[in-house]
Structure 1
Amino acid sequence: MMMSSNNMECSAKAKEEEEITKISLMRSLVETQDPSSKEVDDMTMRRFLRARELDVEKASSMFLKYLKWRRSFVPNGFISPSELTHEIQQNKMFLQGSDKKGRPISVLLAARHFQHNGGLDEFKRTPSSLFSLSGCDNLDINLLFVNLQVL
């Protein structure tokens, strides 16, 4: 059975309203546990909700873990290029235009990676640092971090 376009629009609006309501619930829950989360926009909250199938409890837990991780990897709120001179000199990551929706395309050439004295900790920190410097720090790059966790 095929849905009419009118029914699909109503369904999309209902889903949108449900997401907005759950974003508000998530925000109030998270802000009580971590006041710094007030700076985070609704789109970021929505990504965490969608990643946990709109389960506010699970999304909030995941989001709080993300904030904790972010503070440990980027304690000053940003990463200075002077901290990454070795990585930048290798020219292993660059932006290559944008896709049809206007999102930046980032290319990472793994063959140009040569280990430095920083060891595994620096290797794990480098991708998030380079994404941050290229302006892609708020994008969903879960696959990259899943691969790093295998190490």
Structure 2
Amino acid sequence: MCDGRRQGCFSFSRKTMEDRDEKVDDEDEKQKLELMRAALQMKIPSFKLQDASSKCDKLQDVDQLTLRRFLRARDLDVEKGSAMLIKCLCWRQSFVPKGFISESEVPNEFAQNKMFLQGTDKKGRPISLVFGSRHLPRKGGLEKFKRFLVFSLDKLCQRIPDGVEKFTIIGDLHGYGFCNSDLRANLAAITILQVVFVDDKRLHETLLEEIDENQLPEIYGGKLQLVPIQNA
């Protein structure tokens, strides 16, 4: 069931933060950030979680950079940016009530040794490597996979330096077959990642366009050894 090729899939967008900065009027953005914060202060106290058991009241945890990220994600539309952020805050409060996912919650996912974190690309974005052939969907189910995904994305976000808003993921599908196929998990990942597929023949060349050799994993001709994401 495997095609025997290695492919890389990247989660980065060609449009960088700097590209967007050129199109944003600082004063206009500042005004809209204030409007967004005011709108959130009015909406969040009365915003109920899906189970209606508690309120989504985590506005105090939102800093200016987070507000700006959501505002820009909706092209400076205050209403849409606010709605997007509220949805995110309330989902996270419901799904991650402690504020983080512990390693003890997803031991089977870590045991598969399928995700690694190391290095940065040429724009300072942290790099993660995922081996699709090591994903075994029968262990733990979709909810466990989602928790593993949140743990991993939190790790990646902790590595993002000031002035950078994205990360890069290399998805290695070499050896990927029917036993690794997991439609629901794939959909869960694709909804938050922008994916570009690269054929094995151009893999090294394409990686070097975005990543310096000393930041590439050894298996792709680079200098870095693999570091499991839970150990990073």
Query: TM-score scaled by structure 1?
Result: 0.75
The residue type equivalent to 2:189 in the other structure is L
Which one has more relative contact order, counting CA pairs under 8 Å at least 6 apart? 2
Work out which of the residue numbers 47, 53, 66 in structure 1 matches 2:75: 53
Which whole-Å deviations, capped at 9, do the CAs of 1:8-61 have from their partners, x for residues lacking one? Answer: xxx959712211211111112112333421221212111211121111011101
Work out which of the residue numbers 94, 97, 106 in structure 1 matches 2:116: 94
User: Which residue of 2 is the match for residue 3 of structure 1?
Assistant: none
Partners of 1:115 and 1:40 in 2: CA distance = 34
Offset of 1:72 from its aligned partner?
1.9
What RMSD over aligned residues (CA atoms) do the two structures have, in Å?
A: 2.8
User: Which residue of 2 is the match for residue 29 of structure 1?
Assistant: 39
The residue type equivalent to 1:22 in the other structure is K
Say yes or no: does 1:78 pair with 2:123: no
The 1:119/1:63 distance shift into structure 2, 3 A limit, reads same
Partners of 1:140 and 1:36 in 2: CA distance = 23
Greater than 4 Å deviation, 4+ residue runs:
11-14, 137-141
Query: TM-score scaled by structure 2?
Result: 0.51
Partners of 1:105 and 1:125 in 2: CA distance = 20
The residue type equivalent to 1:16 in the other structure is D
User: Which residue of 2 is the match for residue 136 of structure 1?
Assistant: 157
Offset of 1:112 from its aligned partner?
1.1
Alignment: residue pair count? 136
Which whole-Å deviations, capped at 9, do the CAs of 1:124-151 have from their partners, x for residues lacking one? Answer: 332112222x24268668x935179xxx
Which stretch shifts more, 20-29 or 113-122?
113-122
Residue 136 of structure 1: SS of its match in structure 2?
helix
User: Which residue of 2 is the match for residue 105 of structure 1?
Assistant: 127
Partners of 1:45 and 1:23 in 2: CA distance = 7
- Kindly indicate whether the alpha-carbon contact (under 8 Å) linking 1:31 and 1:38 is maintained by their aligned counterparts in 2: no
Offset of 1:100 from its aligned partner?
2.5
- Residue segments in structure 1 that go unaligned for 5+ positions in a row: 1-10
The 1:136/1:14 distance shift into structure 2, 3 A limit, reads closer
- Residue segments in structure 2 that go unaligned for 5+ positions in a row: 1-20, 45-56, 168-187, 194-232
